[in-house]
Amino acid sequence: MRGARGRCAGRRHSLGCGPTGGRGSRGHQGGASDDAAEHGMTIGRSWVLVGGAVAGLILWACGLGPKTLDPVLGSTTYENRCIALLYETLLQYKYLKRPLELEPLLLAEMPTISPDGKTWRFRLKKGVYFHDSPCFPGGKGREMKAGDVIYSWKRLADPANKEKNFWLLDKQIVGFNEFRDEQAARVKAGEKFDYDAPVSGMRLLGDYEFEIELTEAVQQFAWKLAMFQLAVVPREAVEAFGSKFSGRPVGTGPFILANEGDWLRGVRIRFTRNPKYREAYYPDEWMPEDEQYGFHLPAGQRIPIVDRVDVTFFVESQPQWLEFKAGRLDMTTVPDFAFEQMFSRRTKELKRSEAREGLVHFKVPLLDFIFRGFNMEDPLVGGYEPEKKALRQAISLAMDWDELNEAYYWGTTVVYDGPIPPGLDGFPAGAGHRAPVSYRGPDYARAREKLVEAGYTVGPDGLVSDLPPIDFYTSRGAVSEKIVALMERNLAEVGIRLNPRFVDFSELIEAVNNKKAPFFSFAWGSDYPDAENNLALFYSPNVSPGSNHFNYSRPEYDAMYEQIRTMPPGSERTAMYETMRDMIIEDAPYAGSLARTRYYLNYPWLKNFKPTENFFNYVKYLDVDMEHPDRPR
């Protein structure tokens, strides 16, 4: 639906939003184990302004918090949630529209595309200014120009940035890979990276227009234009602040870091409304079901609506939950241990007693791929020989994902075969969400057969006797420990033993990136609503430290992946997705899969909040009724 645009000013308030889960952005998208994945978002009120005056704050708790605020270095949800408030991309998702649709953010209009799909022309909005910063003459932010986009994307190729997110544009823009290689050689020879060197497929057409020539008509290029790693930064800030740029952000976004002490790593971060943010408004398109929540009412209101965003970082979900129950938080996701307290296990609806408190709840199905991954280069669990494959299949057959769903997710998840989550082409939509090829357990008899095929000895007691313990890496936390205990109990049915390695999230990422983790627990949330994004997890050029943490490498799979990138949506592409899915299932580079439904609760004074985990720049649309009679003072 579309509403008439108004120009109401609205009261300004401070706002924030809460502990995040195990979705990251590509590279380590969702690279967290289940314990981290349980941490949703929490909003609350607890910070005090200088001088002691309470400013009607809302606190946003964000899991472990970001390690960087530099878009080109970001790879997790923790970075995405914060960077999205400071920086902007060419495109964004329409806040209230479902299914997801893209719209211009820094662009004046959607890009125009040549008939062959390879040449994309962009026209920027005028009057978009970078934040005020000492890096600019007189400390005043200058207008963003087309050259800033080209510069920002070239940063992906700079060895100083570890090429962490180069995968986004790898082999996609004419001349960009050659530019990367030439500059790497310069740097290796002791010369400076030359940002002024041309890239034939990146062409400036004026201050506000530029053109990108793709190597092939990649269907997913538009989705990538909304990813935070391609946000626009000013060259002056990068060069002025050097290594400190990651903590001194200068973007075009609706919020700024007003003071140097506003980010205390691992503890908190404070965002302040950008007083010079350009004229922008709350959306005037919505879905019919949005009207019951009043999401349509602010249509045309100037954004951002709130004055401040205060973010506190929590590792465990219990403290945040207690804060919410005490009325000191405005919104939260529901942790697993609190689900039955708040919701009916049978209907999955909010209990009447809780509904009478005025709580509002939402169910958000996630584009989720929770799995237990194998390092295909590991001498014990890796390899492509039939006996190596049989071992991984045996482990998969001994695991009970349905028990995990009931025991720790209250039956709210979708258990399925393959790496493609519900809602995307290629998802196995049949009975039990099983694919034609399936090694999903529990099937202990078949698991024992596979162990024998793998060359191991299974005794009369049904237990394998000569398979050494398998190192299993997962992040620390109470939930992780319980889930690993369930895994060990399942695997013990056939004698498979684990050596659990509970590590900090950063250690987990490091172990996987360095190919040191034979078996590990991750959760991946799709970057955009196309199964190509998930299938890229098994494309060999993306091996660790890229997003192919399995280090899976099959030439025939790679050839199919390169083909699907240029195929338009349709039955032919879907059939190819399914073929690739079944090839992966047969090779078993992981055990899985599971997709969560996130349950959100908020008090009625939080306004305009339509939960999503597909994008995170929606904070600019949120508001708080500071005068609500039930809101704690």
**By percentage, how much of the chain surpasses pLDDT 70?**
90
Looking at the structure, tell me whether residues 189 and 279 fall in a common domain.
Answer: no
> Which DSSP symbol is given to 473?
E
Domain that holds residue 559: 368-427+466-595
Per-residue pLDDT tens digits for 529-557: 999 999 999 999 989 988 899 999 999 99
The residue-averaged pLDDT of 378-402 equals 97
Q: Which helix or strand (DSSP H or E) is residue 352 part of?
A: helix 352-355
Q: Are residues 188 and 293 in the same domain?
A: no
pLDDT grade, residue 327 (50/70/90)?
A: confident
pTM: 0.83
- Residues 80, 180, single domain; the answer is no
Backbone angles phi, psi at 203, to 5 degrees: -125, 120
Q: What is the mean pLDDT of residues 295-305?
A: 95
Whether the CB-CB separation of 314 and 43 falls below 8 Å is answered with no
Give tens-digit pLDDT for 43-63.
443 333 333 333 335 555 566
What per-residue confidence (pLDDT) applies to 47? 39
pLDDT digits (tens, 9 = 90+) for 193-220: 999 999 999 999 999 999 999 999 988 9
pLDDT above 70 (res 15): no
Q: Is residue 225 part of a domain?
A: yes
User: Is 519 found in the same domain as 493?
Assistant: yes
pLDDT on residue 479? 80
Q: Is beta strand 306-312 parallel, antiparallel or unpaired with respect to 13-14? A: parallel
Best CA proximity match to 32, nearest among 20, 22, 19, 41:
22
Please tell me the number of Cα atoms within 13 Å of 572 on its side-chain side. 7
CA–CA dist 310, 30 (Å, integer): 23
- 136-193 residue pLDDT tens: 999 999 999 999 999 999 999 999 998 888 988 999 999 999 999 999 999 999 999 9
Q: How far is CA 93 from the centre of its chain?
A: 14
The total number of structural domains in the chain stands at 3
Average pLDDT over residues 431-453: 96
Residue 40 CA to its chain's centroid (Å) = 12
8 or 168, higher pLDDT? 168
Does 593 sit behind a cis peptide bond, omega within 30 degrees of 0 on the bond before it?
Answer: yes
Any domain includes 625: yes
In the prediction, which pLDDT does 5 show? Answer: 38
234 with 304, same domain: the answer is: no
Across the range 32-50, mean pLDDT stands at 38
Q: pLDDT by residue (tens digit) across 79-132? A: 999 999 999 999 999 999 998 999 999 999 999 999 999 999 999 999 999 999
Closest CA to 238 of 73, 83, 70: 70
From the number of C-beta atoms within 10 Å of its C-beta (0-12, 13-18, 19+), residue 302 rates as middle
Please tell me whether residues 421 and 570 are part of one structural domain: yes
Residue-wise DSSP of 449-467: HHHHHTT--B-TTS-BSSP
Return the CATH number at 406.
3.10.105.10
Q: Which one, of 570, 583, 17, 602, lies nearest residue 313 by Cα?
A: 17
Between 452 and 625, whose confidence is greater? 452
Q: Report the Cα–Cα distance between both ends of the chain, in Å, rounded.
A: 36
Cα separations (Å) of 423 from 74, 402, 464, 534?
27, 20, 39, 13
Both 387 and 519 in one domain: the answer is: yes
Residues 182 and 273 in one domain: no
Domain shared by 205 and 293, yes or no? no
Residues 228 and 311 in one domain: no
